């Protein structure tokens, strides 16, 4: 069975750094096959050998333990030893794998609803890149059919005994790097919901001196999306902040690689603004981010080099590697969802933070809060130092990827004048004359006013996303509302 063919027949396809699909389609048999294909790829490159360790962890979705067991079965079939690190953040698993030179498998669907899930593949050096993905897709795997029932479930699923080594190492990573009083005196509300990062965040915040109140813990999975924040989460933050008892609110998405940081007013920072602030406080010289991120990055003048890429952490990682090869350091990256990546080691007050070239939420929350405390200002004052550029994003759900691509193809014919005219026909009535159209990832339109509208299919779900940028938050929100109305009309 070829993995590429399985993608077509099962509906479980590659998204960002791994396979994702509907839980009903992610049978044990399918998950076993994908994991085996990944391990065969590693064997072909020498990144894992017979008898080698492979780490496994998962988020709090109901389907995650079952899929973790299928991954463990594939690891054994590949002649390797599975290690179960339980429910921990994606970056905690990746960091431990890098430190131990061990590949890892993270079972998570990130921010999407729990009727979907995924498997994120990490090399001993970090996330898989697009070349690795191509090799995995090309693998032909032979499944031990006697291990599966007719419905594709394992007949004898089993996970090894859970270990806490990866969780402990993640906590130590930041407690060792930051001063012990980094957050002393700060009052922090921790929005826990169903994030697998909630216990790690509590340990880190309290360990660095913050006074922490745990909020909103949930036993059922809640799809918190840091890039398209739910109205419910906006309302919760406003209610928690109303009493004035918090200096900040902190949270993360389901697998803990995308942060949410709110100021004392309960206003969630956009992920791309949080990325700029984090990069500045860490003393980054060079920054990589996708084209969808706020242009305040360049306008700030805080960094020696900025590189824009397609959306997705593999592209950000490749961009960071490019800047590192130029001799730049420290090199970091971030995405519009707030996930922060570190390509080169960071030095702060004589302490070294090892590189972690995968999305992380904790570094953003800890750095921004501690940076505000060190400067003696509230979190809101950090954002006020930036140029007045504001972004907003939303998405149309249940919008088939093929239809998204078909609609956007009308603006990407290869003829610049024709593309500009096609865009103007649809959008100029609302946003004015078109200055340029960028096809780096989807269709990013810059208008003569300097305002931006960026349209692209999601890489992880059947959704069509719109990102807007303007000189005020109200204008960015209004632009996005208009885009949503236009995009919604496209599926009729």
d(CA 214, CA 216): 7
DSSP 290-321: ETTS-THHHHH---SEEEEE-SSHHHHHHHHH
Pairing mode of beta strands 452-457, 443-447: antiparallel
Helix (H, G, I), strand (E, B) or coil at 419: helix
How far from 33 is each of 193, 343, 470, CA to CA, in Å?
Answer: 32, 31, 46
Q: Which of 17, 63, 110, 194 is catalytic?
A: 110
Whether 300 sits among the annotated catalytic residues: the reply is no
Give how far Cα 426 sits from Cα of 93, 422, 443, Å: 45, 7, 13
Q: Do residues 203 and 171 touch, judged by C-beta distance below 8 A?
A: yes
How buried is 171 (Cβ within 10 angstroms: 0-12 exposed, 13-18 middle, 19+ buried)? middle
Report H helices in 194-263. Answer: 198-207, 231-242
% helix / strand / coil in the chain, to the nearest 5?
A: 40, 25, 35
Q: What are the angstrom distances between the C-alpha of 84 and each of 11, 68, 255, 279?
A: 27, 8, 16, 33
Task: Give CA angle at 350 (347, 356), nearest 5°.
Answer: 30
- Rounded Cα distance, 246 and 242, in Å: 9
Phi and psi at 442, nearest 5°, equal 75, -145
- Helical (H) or strand (E) element with 434: strand 434-438
* Active-site residue set: 110
């Amino acid at each position: 069975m070829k993995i590429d063919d399985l993608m077509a027949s099962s509906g479980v396809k590659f998204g960002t750094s791994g396979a994702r699909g509907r839980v009903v389609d992610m049978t044990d048999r399918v998950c076993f096959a994908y994991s085996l294909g990944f391990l065969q790829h590693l064997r072909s490159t020498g990144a894992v050998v017979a008898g080698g360790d492979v780490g496994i962890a998962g988020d709090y979705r109901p389907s995650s333990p079952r899929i973790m067991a299928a991954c463990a079965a594939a690891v054994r079939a590949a002649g390797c030893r599975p290690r179960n690190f339980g429910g921990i953040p994606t970056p905690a698993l990746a960091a431990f794998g890098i430190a131990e030179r061990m590949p890892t498998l993270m079972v998570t669907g990130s921010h999407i609803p729990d009727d979907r899930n995924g498997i994120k593949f990490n090399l001993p050096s970090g996330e898989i890149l697009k070349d690795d993905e191509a090799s995995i897709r090309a693998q032909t795997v032979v499944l031990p059919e006697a291990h599966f029932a007719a419905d594709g479930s394992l007949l004898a699923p089993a996970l090894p005994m859970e270990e806490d080594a990866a969780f402990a190492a993640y906590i130590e990573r930041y407690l060792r790097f930051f001063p012990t009083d980094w957050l002393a005196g700060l009052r922090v509300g921790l929005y826990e919901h169903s994030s697998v990062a909630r216990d790690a965040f509590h340990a880190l915040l309290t360990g660095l001196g913050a006074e922490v109140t745990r909020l909103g813990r949930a036993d059922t999975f809640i799809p918190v999306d840091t890039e398209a924040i739910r109205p419910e989460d906006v309302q919760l933050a406003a209610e928690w902040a109303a009493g004035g008892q918090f200096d900040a609110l902190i949270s993360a998405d389901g697998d803990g690689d995308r942060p949410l940081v709110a100021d004392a007013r309960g206003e969630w920072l956009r992920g791309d603004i949080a990325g700029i602030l984090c990069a500045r406080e860490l003393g980054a010289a060079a920054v990589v981010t996708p084209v969808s991120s706020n242009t305040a990055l360049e306008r700030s003048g805080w960094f020696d080099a900025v590189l824009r890429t397609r959306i997705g952490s593999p592209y950000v990682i490749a961009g960071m590697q490019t800047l590192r090869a130029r001799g730049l350091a420290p090199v970091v990256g971030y995405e519009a969802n707030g996930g922060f990546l570190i390509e080169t080691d960071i030095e702060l007050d004589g302490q070294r933070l090892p590189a972690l070239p995968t999305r992380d939420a904790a570094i953003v929350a800890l750095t921004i809060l501690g940076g505000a405390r060190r400067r003696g200002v509230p979190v809101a004052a950090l954002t006020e130092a930036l140029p007045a550029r504001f972004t907003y994003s939303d998405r149309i759900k249940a919008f088939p990827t093929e239809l998204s691509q078909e609609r956007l193809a009308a603006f990407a014919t290869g003829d610049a004048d024709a593309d500009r005219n096609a865009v103007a026909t649809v959008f100029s009535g609302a946003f004015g004359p078109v200055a340029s159209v960028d096809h780096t990832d989807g269709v990013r339109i810059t208008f003569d006013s300097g305002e931006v509208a960026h349209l692209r299919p999601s890489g992880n779900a059947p959704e069509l996303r719109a990102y807007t940028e303007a000189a005020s938050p109200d204008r960015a929100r209004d632009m996005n509302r208009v885009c949503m109305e236009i995009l919604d009309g496209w599926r009729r």
